């Protein structure tokens, strides 16, 4: 079951700016009213809050929440720092992937889990998934929230949910074919890996019934060359989704594949300019700050995501939510400054993925004296790394060392790919 | 959410024989009323049924359903032979493990899935699982229904559900410890394997918070020596559960650990004597035949399970459902006749598991002329296979060859163990 039906979600997507602000203000006030008496973490942080807020402008004086605070507060035996209710109320356990730093446990109550599933419906709307769809989840169903929420959201929508934990890539390809799966849910990295294995086994996946691929967990779905590579291998449309364990399912592809919308009916986004530290304007490079407008068991308020984006309010589309062109451009931590030029790993990926003969790649950042440097390894069927280096120089204005390595020698990933190795702080 | 609360389930467990029969008759009639107009498979089989039935006795004239019929009817592109509604109504896809023969796809609608979760509540009652429990599912979450239904049932009951797909055994042990899991859900085989790895790593699992172990997928939980081995390694109580993809969660441990009750509120059991082919009497060796009293999207009626059991109506306990002493004793297919003696692999397992120094074992059945024969390999820390052979001779009255093999040389399993190798039909 879903809380909002299709028409109601459409209404939310079409709210005007002032209607949306009123909706968000009401949701925010209800949330803090519910949590402040119980949630020690936010009672501490927001103790002085005059509630209810009369305008969203008043948010600006509230403190930010940083990931370190959420991870750091757990003491022996306790499960999650940011917890509103006694443990008995919680039904779902998830843990961040720990790609960066210590894994963080986040728990959800039954109604917060329903909120996750409701949030996912916006992604499934964007993917035009209906009850006739057979949704194949190529995912291992470990503690990482990843596609757990998608799985339950698909079933809540009345679609057939096909789980594939614990299977090899070849067995998954067979299950997709055998059961005529129509929609595939996975990471961008794994969509490419499935295509690579299919190619080795001479399976024609472009001829399968899969007509939609819903990507999450990594930025790939909004990197045009990655998206096109996946779309052409599978002969299917890619829909990007953005979310995080400690936040929720906050974004989904726009209809023209320009980037992702922030689901402003469920989340309140703010944008902090990287340059000025002040609220960002149209298209300005900024860090995304998110407040959940629900999930009372584990809410985040003014959470610094570390995601760099360019917000666009003046876009043209059937949905009035703010659009992030190109999706998440990179992580604040990953931004390199090479000889004065800002470079994101995603920009490098976009360029490298423009070469269809490049099977896999890896980039390594390191320090040369005080300066950031980057090198790139490619598995290149043509074994001509210099043409990749030349394209990087043309597009980024930077000379970057590119070396060719043996096909199959770089790591493959089922979940999040780790193609960016940051050794800038290595001793 | 669950459909019945704790008191209502208790009421069902305490129905008298005549009340239970009335409950079952009403459920059965409602089921056939619902399915016969839509389900081609059963419309064919039960075309001549005079409905409603006036008494359960009338069931005896209806045809049995065999697994081969369910597997065999699927044609190219279709998903499941026994399907009541259009595919659009179904939300859950599962597939039998294929331990024997071709895997079979079974689909569930949202309300049938709720029926699964309601059925599991009887198992969780037997295990005394409450909202304060942290339930750890050591399972890979592939297409096999196994603990998928347990996972959702745990969350529906308000307990914390901790998933552990895609993790190594060592990582699972760490997650159990780190998060203070109180209940473990796995196969008997995997409970032993976890204990073996913990032992290698000098982890004291007897000191963990785990106080209940819910077993399914294999008979082990009702084989006393297997159960005791698991209970002493973990210092926890074992609760057995029986079920099957094409049937549902049909049984659960009795309070005195004598065997399993058939959940007669959800299923209608019949018992066919192995000797006479007629309805079995008290304690007679018989094949279990099951009719689901719900699951209208994929019901089974008079389904020959192939499971051999000894029914007991005259047991003494807080639950009036029929008790199967020793749980499922074996599969009809697996029964060996060695020099005139009926032998089940589970009887051999019970005896072999009585030796704490035997780490792992495997039995192989083969033909010698027209006669069944059995040999057993053991990983034996004492390397004295003759004492195992002697015990088998005393307990079974049969001389069986037992050989000692290197520790670690026999296969380990995450899901169902395959310790019984049947080569009687090998050419």
CATH of the domain at B384: 3.30.300.30
Query: Best of A141, A174, A183 to disrupt the B interface by mutation (most B CBs within 10 Å)?
Result: A141
Whether A96 and A135 share a structural domain: yes
**Is the per-residue pLDDT at A339 higher than 90?**
no
A87 CB neighbours in chain B (<8 A) are: 132, 160
Asked if the Cβ–Cβ distance from A166 to B141 is below 8 Å, we say yes
Closest by Cβ to A165, choosing from B142, B155, B180: B142
A183 CB within 8 Å of a chain B CB = no
Mean pLDDT estimate for chain A = 92
What would the mean pLDDT of A144-148 be, rounded to a whole number?
Answer: 91
Asked if the Cβ–Cβ distance from A91 to B165 is below 8 Å, we say no
Could you tell me the CA-to-CA distances from B80 to A280, B39, B100, B147 in Å, in that order? 54, 12, 18, 21
Pairwise CA distance, residues B98 & A103, whole Å: 36
* Closest to A298 in 3D by CA, of A248, A228, A236, A372: A248
- B42 and B36 Cβ atoms separated by less than 8 Å: yes
For residue A101, give both structure tokens.
């730093």
Q: Does some domain include residue B45?
A: yes
Q: Does some domain include residue B353?
A: yes
Pairwise CA distance, residues A22 & A100, whole Å: 36
pLDDT > 90: percent of chain A: 73
Asked if the Cβ–Cβ distance from B180 to A77 is below 8 Å, we say yes
For residue A402, give both structure tokens.
């590119």
Nearest-10 crossing angle of helices B110-126, B6-13: 80
B77 CB within 8 Å of a chain A CB = yes
Closest by Cβ to A167, choosing from B142, B167, B179: B142
Asked if the Cβ–Cβ distance from B88 to A158 is below 8 Å, we say yes
Could you tell me the CA-to-CA distances from B385 to A55, B362, B382, B401 in Å, in that order? 80, 13, 8, 9
Whether A263 and A363 share a structural domain: no
Q: What is the ipTM, given to two decimal places?
A: 0.87
Confidence of residue A267 (pLDDT cuts 50, 70, 90): very high
CA distance A279 to chain B (A): 39
Identify the domain boundary among A288, A310, A330. A330
- CATH (domain of A188): 3.40.50.12780
Whether B34 and B136 share a structural domain: yes
A76 CB neighbours in chain B (<8 A) are: none
- B249 and B241 Cβ atoms separated by less than 8 Å: yes
**Is the per-residue pLDDT at A91 higher than 70?**
yes
In chain A, what is the straight-line distance between the N-terminal and C-terminal CA atoms, in Å? 53
Asked if the Cβ–Cβ distance from A155 to B113 is below 8 Å, we say yes
A169 CB neighbours in chain B (<8 A) are: none
- The list of chain B residues with pLDDT below 50 reads none
Q: Does some domain include residue B427?
A: no
CB atoms near residue B67 (< 10 Å): 19
Question: Mind listing the pLDDT tens digit for each residue in B133-152?
Answer: 999 999 999 999 989 999 99
Pairwise CA distance, residues B151 & B161, whole Å: 6
Helical spans, DSSP H, in B277-357: 345-352
B142 CB neighbours in chain A (<8 A) are: 163-167
CA distance B156 to chain A (A): 8
Residue B265 burial (C-beta neighbours within 10 Å; 0-12, 13-18, 19+): buried
Q: Does some domain include residue A102?
A: yes
Asked if the Cβ–Cβ distance from B163 to A143 is below 8 Å, we say yes
Closest by Cβ to A93, choosing from B142, B158, B160: B160
Planar angle of CA A182, A183, A185, nearest 5 degrees: 155
The least confident of A43-57, A148-162, B72-86, B186-200 is: B72-86
Whether A190 and A268 share a structural domain: yes
B155 CB within 8 Å of a chain A CB = yes
Whether B323 and B348 share a structural domain: no
Residue B136 belongs to what H/E stretch? strand B134-137
What would the mean pLDDT of A242-248 be, rounded to a whole number?
Answer: 95
Asked if the Cβ–Cβ distance from A93 to B132 is below 8 Å, we say no
Pairwise CA distance, residues B27 & B265, whole Å: 9
Whether A350 and A313 share a structural domain: no
What was the pLDDT predicted at A282? Answer: 97
CA distance B175 to chain A (A): 9
Comparing A157 with A371, which gets the higher pLDDT?
Answer: A157
Asked if the Cβ–Cβ distance from A166 to B164 is below 8 Å, we say no
Asked if the Cβ–Cβ distance from B140 to A164 is below 8 Å, we say no
A6 CB within 8 Å of a chain B CB = no
Whether A277 and A358 share a structural domain: no
Per the structure, the complete domain to which residue B385 belongs is given by 335-422
Pairwise CA distance, residues B82 & B89, whole Å: 14
What was the pLDDT predicted at A50? Answer: 87
* Closest to B113 in 3D by CA, of B3, B231, B223: B3
What was the pLDDT predicted at B293? Answer: 98
By C-alpha distance, the chain A residue nearest B145 is A163
What would the mean pLDDT of A36-50 be, rounded to a whole number?
Answer: 90
Q: Does some domain include residue B23?
A: yes
CB atoms near residue A306 (< 10 Å): 18
Identify the domain boundary among B312, B329, B346. B329
Q: Does some domain include residue A124?
A: yes
A174 CB within 8 Å of a chain B CB = no
Identify the domain boundary among A290, A309, A330. A330
CB atoms near residue B102 (< 10 Å): 12
Whether A236 and A351 share a structural domain: no
What was the pLDDT predicted at B241? Answer: 95
Whether A358 and A228 share a structural domain: no
Q: Does some domain include residue A148?
A: yes
Residue B284, SS3 per DSSP: coil
Confidence of residue A415 (pLDDT cuts 50, 70, 90): low
- B124 and A109 Cβ atoms separated by less than 8 Å: no
Domain count of the fold of chain B: 2
- B217 and B245 Cβ atoms separated by less than 8 Å: no
A159 CB within 8 Å of a chain B CB = yes
Whether B215 and B343 share a structural domain: no
Asked if the Cβ–Cβ distance from A132 to B88 is below 8 Å, we say yes
Pairwise CA distance, residues A252 & A250, whole Å: 7
Asked if the Cβ–Cβ distance from A91 to B162 is below 8 Å, we say no
Question: In this complex, how many residue pairs, one in chain A and one in chain B, have their CB atoms less than 8 Å apart?
Answer: 106
A155 CB within 8 Å of a chain B CB = yes
Residue B210, SS3 per DSSP: coil
Closest by Cβ to B93, choosing from A89, A90, A161: A161
Q: Does some domain include residue A291?
A: yes
Comparing B232 with A71, which gets the higher pLDDT?
Answer: B232
Q: Is the link from the previous residue into B70 a cis peptide, with omega within 30 of 0?
A: no
B103 CB within 8 Å of a chain A CB = no
Whether A70 and A1 share a structural domain: yes
Nearest-10 crossing angle of helices A169-178, A188-200: 90
CA distance A223 to chain B (A): 28
- B304 and B63 Cβ atoms separated by less than 8 Å: no
**Is the per-residue pLDDT at A108 higher than 80?**
yes
For residue B330, give both structure tokens.
């074996």
B141 CB neighbours in chain A (<8 A) are: 140-141, 163, 165-166
Whether B120 and B158 share a structural domain: yes
């Amino acid at each position: 079951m879903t809380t909002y039906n299709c028409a109601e979600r459409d209404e939310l997507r079409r709210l005007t700016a002032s209607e949306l602000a009123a909706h968000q203000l009401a949701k925010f006030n209800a949330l803090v009213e519910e949590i402040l008496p119980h949630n020690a973490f936010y009672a501490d942080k927001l103790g002085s809050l005059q509630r209810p807020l009369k305008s969203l402008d008043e948010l600006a004086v509230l403190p930010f929440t940083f990931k370190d605070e959420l991870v750091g507060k757990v003491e022996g035996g306790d499960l999650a720092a940011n917890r509103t209710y006694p443990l008995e109320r919680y039904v779902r356990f998830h843990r961040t992937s720990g790609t960066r730093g210590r894994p963080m446990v986040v728990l959800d109550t039954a109604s917060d889990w329903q909120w996750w599933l409701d949030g996912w419906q916006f992604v499934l709307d964007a993917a035009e998934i209906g009850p006739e769809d057979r949704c194949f989840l190529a995912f291992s169903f470990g503690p990482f929230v990843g596609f757990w929420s998608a799985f339950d959201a698909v079933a809540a929508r009345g679609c057939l949910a096909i789980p594939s934990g614990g299977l090899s890539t070849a067995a998954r390809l067979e299950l997709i074919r055998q059961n005529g799966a129509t929609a595939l849910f996975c990471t961008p990295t794994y969509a490419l890996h499935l295509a690579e294995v299919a190619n080795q086994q001479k399976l024609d996946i472009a001829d399968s019934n899969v007509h939609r691929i819903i990507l999450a967990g990594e930025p790939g779905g909004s990197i045009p060359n990655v998206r096109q590579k996946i779309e052409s291998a599978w002969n299917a449309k890619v829909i990007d989704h953005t979310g995080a364990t400690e936040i929720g399912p906050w974004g989904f592809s726009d209809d023209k594949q320009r980037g992702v919308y922030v689901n402003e009916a469920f989340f309140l986004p703010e944008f902090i300019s990287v340059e000025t530290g002040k609220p960002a304007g149209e298209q300005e490079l900024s860090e995304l700050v998110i407040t959940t407008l629900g999930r009372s068991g584990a809410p985040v308020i003014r959470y610094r995501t570390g995601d760099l984006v360019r917000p666009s309010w003046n876009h043209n589309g059937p949905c009035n939510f703010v659009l992030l062109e190109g999706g998440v451009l990179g992580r604040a931590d990953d931004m390199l400054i090479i000889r004065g030029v800002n470079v994101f790993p995603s920009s490098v990926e976009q360029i490298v993925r423009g070469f269809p003969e490049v099977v896999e790649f890896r980039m390594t950042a390191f320090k040369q004296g005080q300066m950031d440097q980057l090198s790139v390894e490619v598995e290149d069927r043509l074994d001509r790394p210099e043409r990749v280096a030349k394209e990087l120089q043309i597009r980024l204005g930077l000379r970057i060392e590119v070396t060719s390595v043996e096909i199959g020698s770089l790591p493959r990933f089922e979940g999040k790919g780790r193609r960016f190795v940051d050794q800038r702080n290595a001793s």
